[in-house]
Structure 1
Amino acid sequence: MITHSLFAEQEREAKLNELGDTLRVLEQHVDFTALAAAVDAAAPRPGRERGGRPPFPTEQMVRVLLIQQLFDLSDEQMEFQLLDRLSFQRFVGLLRHSSPIPDRTTIWTFKERLIQAGASESIFDAVNRQWSKYGYMARGGQMIDASIVQTPKESISKGGEAIVSENAMPADLQPAKRRQKDIEARSAKKQGKSYSGYKLSANADKHHKFIRKIKVSTASEHDTQHFEAVIDPGNTSREIYADKGYVAGEREARLKGRGWRMYIQRKGSKDKPLSEAQERHNKRIAKPRARVEHVFAGLAQLGGKVLRTIGLAHATLHLNWKTATDNLQRFTYLKEAGIVAF
């Protein structure tokens, strides 16, 4: 039997808390005001010289984009869920009697504001600063790896590949297809399979497994090109772990000269197989190096292996928010589990 209650809304919220609302737990541990302030500093809110409805508060939009990354939603899906889902509404701060909500156009406009201001990295940097506030320093050494983030497979007419490789658009494409064609995405092969899209190079600390530094590039750029770009000088240990794809004798010698201790797995070939000593070396560092795979597995669960965006600028924004969200999720887990920062 259906019963009516004047307190139905409060009863439902209490039930959500009892069942364990992920967003409410996130809210208990994260300073969203500080995140919004960092975003505003990097990409100031637009003025109202032209009049019209004022933009939604930055903190509200930060919360929207974090939900979007946490649940891997498109702009259209995000708009629908904000209309439909109680837990999303209360996390974003939308009262039940509120009329306007951030719709798909508002979400897109906010992202464009960040890209135009060159502030794609602002949320990632702001999230990582919060770890210092709670004492979660980068410890135990650092693990470096890269992963291809795929875009939808492009169908290009014969002879069009050379045109696209020059960041130009084939002349025979209709306007609708032109808008959906990503001419900046590149192809790469991994374990004999071809992939198209972009590449995320990341550095995670070995102790807490927070992602400390990232670099976004096209998929065709080799992992080794960004090895030094993602080294974190703030880690309390000088150890660096990486797989056999990062072998480069000259670079390793240079970094060793700067005091880094390199633990990079060796690779053999048909003509020059690994020695017993190299096999032991690989086996000894396999377990600590493999911890970085847990990090990329976490990103994959958030939908971090595919892109709905077009172009390198949008991919950079998306992956900065994705990695920031993964770090927030890990931080919440550590706090809830009572794992202290040492």
Structure 2
Amino acid sequence: MKQLGFGFNLSTKKTRKREFLEEMEHVVPWGVLVQVVDPYYSKAKTGRPPFPVETMLRIHYLQQWFGLSDPAMEEALHDVPLYREFARLDGATERLPDETTILRFRHLLEKHNLAVDMLRVVNDLLGYKGLMLRSGTAVDATLIAAPSSTKNIEGERDPEMKQSKKGNNYYFGMKAHIGVDMASGLVHTVVTTPGNVSDINMAGALLHGDEEVAFGDAGYQGVHKRPEAAGPTWHVAMRPGKRRLLNPFIEPDFIAERAEKMKASIRAKVEHPFRVLKRQFGFTKVRYRGLFKNTGQIVTLFALANLWMARKQLLETRG
């Protein structure tokens, strides 16, 4: 990425945001992702020429990384030179996309379910680089909050979001269920449901079919009995209450405790993508109404999270 400024650069400090965008500039497979979107992109022959697909894709990813709405993204393009540079809109006479243009591009991706294709393309790249071995899968789910306010046109909460209980607390929203590669912790499958759907009900949908073993927490107890989850050998965590009763001075209980620790160390990798979404990208609450639109955003975020988690290996192979 070239230096900013009007022919000179007064700043010598490279900010964390600039470092982040420089890394993503090199690890995102822009050319292949453009080919995914291009067949569906408008090629109007009259009026103002449309913005390049890659430019709109870069703007869309900026929205995901920094949690910007469509109006906020339009304003950020005017206010932040770094964003214009990343989107390749840094020319002095360049026009900038307005919020309607940004909205229409997002609707295009949603209409043709292109987020799923983008995740597949990213995973194909990671598999080609030898970063996804596909011999084992760890599964888990996370709750994503939705606004519970009824101050809207319908006067009610989002009907597709549901309430669920975790511990002693109640949450209103949806769940993101993921299956990750046991070796690398990279996400290969994403499924979303209302918040009241049990984790075990989605276990079979999170398998890609080639794994030999699968890992899950105590919420997946009994998953091996379900026909849709048959195939791999399941290693599910012991229920906490039962584990607390283990006596470390009795050999069978001591061995069982060590086995639980070993399973937990493998299963912990499924938490890494959730951390990237909620801490690195700041995605803690749904932005849209309904599961469909939010699913598109979540799948896109997990595709970008895979690239973020594998960025060091990708940069090394690129170098």
Q: Common fold, TM-score beyond 0.5?
A: yes
Q: Structure 1 131/98 Cα, relative in aligned 2: closer, same or farther at 3 Å?
A: farther
Distance 2:206 2:13 in 1: 40
Shift of 1:273: 6.3
Q: Structure 1 103/254 Cα, relative in aligned 2: closer, same or farther at 3 Å?
A: closer
TM-score under structure 2 length normalisation: 0.84
Which one of the candidate residues 71, 76, 80 is aligned to 1:85?
80
Shifted more, 211-220 versus 20-29: the winner is 20-29
Which one of the candidate residues 260, 265, 268 is aligned to 1:287?
265
1:48 corresponds in structure 2 to: 44
Q: Structure 1 283/133 Cα, relative in aligned 2: closer, same or farther at 3 Å?
A: closer
1:213 corresponds in structure 2 to: 189
2:6 corresponds in structure 1 to: 9
Shift of 1:213: 0.9
Shift of 1:116: 2.1
Shifted more, 247-256 versus 145-154: the winner is 247-256
Q: Any gaps of 5 or more consecutive residues in structure 1?
A: 1-6, 156-172
TM-score under structure 1 length normalisation: 0.79
1:95 corresponds in structure 2 to: 90
Shift of 1:300: 0.9
Which one of the candidate residues 10, 24, 33 is aligned to 2:22?
24
Deviation readout 1:93-146 (Å, 9 max, x if unpaired): 102323421222112111111222233422222222221332322356221100
Q: Structure 1 245/329 Cα, relative in aligned 2: closer, same or farther at 3 Å?
A: same
Q: What secondary structure, in the 3-state scheme, does the structure 2 residue paired with 1:121 have?
A: helix
Q: Structure 1 123/139 Cα, relative in aligned 2: closer, same or farther at 3 Å?
A: closer
| Contact 2:77-2:83 at 8 Å conserved across structures | yes
Q: Structure 1 188/52 Cα, relative in aligned 2: closer, same or farther at 3 Å?
A: farther
Q: Structure 1 229/58 Cα, relative in aligned 2: closer, same or farther at 3 Å?
A: same
Distance 2:290 2:66 in 1: 22
Distance 2:189 2:123 in 1: 9
Say whether residues 1:151 and 2:121 are aligned partners: no
Which one of the candidate residues 249, 259, 264 is aligned to 2:236?
264
1:190 corresponds in structure 2 to: 166
Which one of the candidate residues 203, 225, 237 is aligned to 1:251?
225
1:3 corresponds in structure 2 to: none
1:240 corresponds in structure 2 to: 214
Q: Any gaps of 5 or more consecutive residues in structure 2?
A: 247-251
Which one of the candidate residues 115, 120, 133 is aligned to 2:128?
133
Deviation readout 1:175-196 (Å, 9 max, x if unpaired): x523995221111111121111
Say whether residues 1:316 and 2:311 are aligned partners: no
Q: Which residue type is aligned with residue 76 of structure 1?
A: P
Which one of the candidate residues 58, 66, 70 is aligned to 1:63?
58
Aligned-pair Cα RMSD in Å: 3.1
Deviation readout 1:3-27 (Å, 9 max, x if unpaired): xxxx943543994769853212222
Distance 1:66 1:249 in 2: 36
